């Protein structure tokens, strides 16, 4: 808009100047000197050759005759000479009329500035109604990264078979002559119901399955650990090794990931996708014959998690394990081509995030076998956009309110936390809106832990209070 107004100003000024020039030309024509009545004779004229100047005045002239005309031969005609005369004649007219041009330019400039200020104010008002989206930067190397991740991690993924069920697993480390394999608890469901049905594992590049032992499992978060007697050299992920700085891998919605597993029991395969939703609560069936439903923290991904891929890994573009492929979404809305039978929903899988897998995995390794006992964390859906967390072992219930984990009720008079307190820290961890991370931090504690006692930092109005829970210690 400012450019347009400036152009208008320029055009107006040019038009005005053109008018002045035209008037000056008209004046030129009217100001041409009249012929001299008593023209000098030829004797009174001095013809100067082209390119030379006269050095002396003509002789024989009187003072009165000094005003006689001296002519020079030149290429310019009468018109150009006449125009030069007019430009001198009209100099006073230009000076007067140029003031009008500059007044017009000044007025238009002020108008441009005023319009610019008004536009800025209006734009500022509109911006206040929303947030400008962040700029998107990409290096254009996603395909190369995916290929590198698949090449580096595929050999750590194994096929798991237990009874009639087939699934996947991840070689996590070596323990003497045994390989430790991480998988889903529902992958060994037939073992849980009948311990005579031992799970078997086939490693990458092997023809045969190895019979394995069950180190332990947790049905709620759907995590199990197997021990496979094999002395051969294997590629291990080594989550506790120097390769992984921390098991708490941060990732964002939209990040590329790769899921690798025994897809459709047809061998290890990889599928790429993104993190669709970083953290949410998923309602699903409770495992191992227990009636009812459970609600667990998961992240959603478009990386395919087909049948047989349960227990496989979901890796980011740096090859870090971000989750355990666990759930698929199905529908039975009665309008599909199979006559209403349950079918998988495309591009929608759910993984147990590493923030939860890691503490459960460590607790299983430290257990005596069978179902492992964990710090009880009951996640629940609520009217809150994030959900609620109930901690019966501590005697408190919490719910996210306006993005803050707020204590809603206290079931013991001995607890120093009060209803209305906002939990800001769990140990050294600063509480966020990621309910998966918060749950994982709480799962690091247990009554049998040998580390530091659990502390919670709460905000009570303008006061900060640190509460210690004796008997609940860090356990991994």
Domain boundaries along the sequence of the chain: 2-127, 142-361, 375-474
Instruction: Tell me the pLDDT tens digit for each residue of 63-77.
Output: 444 444 344 343 444
Checking if the pLDDT of 330 tops 60, the result is: yes
Instruction: Tell me the pLDDT tens digit for each residue of 155-164.
Output: 999 999 999 9
8 pLDDT band, cuts 50/70/90, is low
Checking if the pLDDT of 144 tops 80, the result is: no
Range of weakest confidence among 82-91, 95-104, 335-344: 82-91
Contact (Cβ atoms closer than 8 angstroms) between residue 68 and residue 44: yes
Checking if the pLDDT of 14 tops 50, the result is: yes
Q: Where are the alpha helices (DSSP H) in 128-212?
A: 142-153, 189-193
Architecture of domain 375-474: Roll (2.30)
Average pLDDT over residues 358-384: 93
C-alpha pair distances (Å), 446 with each of 32, 77, 307, 472: 112, 110, 34, 5
- More confident call, 17 vs 87: 17
Instruction: Tell me the pLDDT tens digit for each residue of 18-40.
Output: 655 555 555 444 444 444 444 44
> What burial class does residue 238 get, using C-beta atoms within 10 Å of its C-beta: 0-12 exposed, 13-18 middle, 19+ buried?
middle
The reported pTM is 0.70
4 pLDDT band, cuts 50/70/90, is low
Per-residue pLDDT at 120: 62
Per-residue pLDDT at 48: 45
237 pLDDT band, cuts 50/70/90, is confident
Per-residue pLDDT at 415: 84
396 pLDDT band, cuts 50/70/90, is very high
Per-residue pLDDT at 245: 43
C-alpha pair distances (Å), 193 with each of 51, 222, 287: 121, 15, 11
Range of weakest confidence among 42-51, 111-120, 162-171, 378-387: 42-51
Checking if the pLDDT of 289 tops 70, the result is: no
Range of weakest confidence among 88-102, 347-361, 454-468: 88-102
Range of weakest confidence among 289-293, 296-300, 353-357: 289-293
Per-residue pLDDT at 176: 86
Per-residue pLDDT at 79: 42
> What burial class does residue 89 get, using C-beta atoms within 10 Å of its C-beta: 0-12 exposed, 13-18 middle, 19+ buried?
middle
Per-residue pLDDT at 166: 95
Per-residue pLDDT at 154: 92
Structure tokens at 28: 């030129």
353 pLDDT band, cuts 50/70/90, is very high
Per-residue pLDDT at 250: 79
Average pLDDT over the chain, rounded to an integer: 78
Average pLDDT over residues 34-50: 45
Per-residue pLDDT at 240: 74
**Three-state SS sequence of the chain:** CHHHHHHHHHHHHHHHHHHHHHHHHHHHHHCCCCCCCCCCCHHHCCCECCCCCCCCCCCCCCHHHHHCCCCECCCCCHHHHHHHHHHHHCHHHHHHHHHHHHHHHHHHHHHHHHHHHHHHHHHHHHHCCCCCCCCCCCCCCHHHHHHHHHHHHHHHEEEEEECCEEEEEEEEEEECCEEEEEECHHHHHHHHHCCCCCCEEECCCCCCCEECEEEEEECCCCEEEEEEECCCCCCCCCCCCCCCCCCCCCCCCCCEEEEEEEHHHCCEEEEEEEEEEEEEEEEEECCCCCCCEEEEEEEEECCCCCCCCCCCEEEECCCCEEEEEEEEEEECCCCCCCCCCCEEEEEEEEEEEHHHHHHHHHHHHCCCCCECCCCCCEEECCCCCCCEEEECCCCEEEEEECCEEEEEEECCCCCCCCCCCEEEEECCEECCCCHHHHHHHHCCEECCCCCCEEEEEEEECCEEEEEEEEEEEECC
Distance, in Å, from the CA atom of 201 to the CA atom of 169, rounded to the nearest integer, reads 8
Per-residue pLDDT at 428: 94
Per-residue pLDDT at 110: 82
CATH code for 142-361?
2.40.10.120
Checking if the pLDDT of 374 tops 60, the result is: yes
Checking if the pLDDT of 148 tops 60, the result is: yes
Per-residue pLDDT at 145: 84
- More confident call, 288 vs 190: 190
287 pLDDT band, cuts 50/70/90, is confident
Average pLDDT over residues 230-239: 83
Secondary structure (3-state) at 257: strand
Checking if the pLDDT of 387 tops 60, the result is: yes
């Amino acid at each position: 808009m400012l450019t347009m107004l400036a152009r208008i100003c320029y055009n107006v000024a040019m038009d005005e100047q053109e008018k002045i020039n035209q008037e000056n030309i008209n004046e030129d024509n009217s100001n041409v000197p009249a012929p001299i009545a008593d023209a000098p004779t030829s004797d009174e004229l001095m013809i100067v050759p082209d390119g030379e100047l006269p050095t002396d005045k003509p002789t024989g002239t009187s003072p009165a005759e000094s005003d006689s005309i001296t002519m020079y031969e030149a290429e310019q005609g009468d018109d150009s000479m006449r125009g030069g005369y007019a430009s001198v004649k009209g100099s006073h007219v230009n000076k007067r009329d140029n003031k009008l041009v500059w007044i017009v330019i000044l007025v238009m400039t002020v108008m441009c500035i005023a319009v610019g200020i008004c536009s800025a104010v209006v734009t500022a008002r509109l911006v206040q109604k929303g947030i400008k989206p962040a700029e998107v930067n990409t290096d254009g190397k996603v395909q190369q990264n995916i290929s590198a991740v698949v090449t580096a991690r595929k050999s750590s993924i194994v096929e798991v078979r237990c009874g009639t069920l087939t699934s996947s697993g991840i070689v996590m480390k070596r323990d003497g002559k045994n390989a430790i394999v991480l998988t889903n608890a529902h992958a060994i469901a037939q073992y849980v119901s009948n311990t005579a049905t031992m799970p078997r594992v086939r490693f990458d590049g092997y023809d045969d399955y190895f019979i394995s032992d069950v180190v332990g499992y947790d049905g709620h978060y759907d995590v199990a650990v197997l021990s496979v007697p094999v002395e051969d050299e294997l590629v291990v992920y080594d989550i506790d090794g120097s390769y992984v700085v921390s098991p708490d891998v941060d990732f964002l919605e939209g990040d590329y990931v790769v899921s690798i597993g025994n897809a459709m029991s047809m061998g290890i395969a990889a599928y790429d996708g993104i993190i669709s939703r970083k953290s949410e609560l998923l309602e699903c069936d409770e495992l191992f014959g227990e009636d009812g439903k459970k609600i667990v923290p998961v992240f959603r991904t478009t990386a395919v998690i087909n049948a047989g891929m349960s227990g496989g890994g979901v890796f980011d573009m740096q090859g870090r394990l971000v989750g355990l492929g666990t759930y698929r979404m199905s529908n039975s809305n009665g309008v599909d081509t199979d006559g209403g039978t349950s079918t998988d929903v495309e591009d929608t899988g759910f993984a147990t995030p590493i923030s939860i897998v890691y503490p459960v995995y460590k607790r299983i390794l430290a257990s005596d076998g069978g179902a492992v006992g964990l710090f009880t964390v009951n996640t629940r859906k609520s009217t809150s956009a994030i959900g609620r967390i109930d901690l019966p072992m501590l005697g408190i219930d919490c719910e996210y309110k306006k993005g803050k984990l707020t204590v809603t009720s206290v079931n013991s008079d001995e607890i120093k936390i009060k209803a209305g307190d906002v939990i800001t820290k769990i140990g050294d961890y600063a509480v966020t809106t990621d309910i998966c991370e918060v749950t994982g931090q709480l799962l690091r504690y247990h009554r049998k832990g040998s580390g530091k006692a659990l502390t919670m930092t709460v905000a009570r109005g303008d006061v900060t209070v640190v509460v210690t829970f004796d008997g609940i210690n860090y356990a991994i």
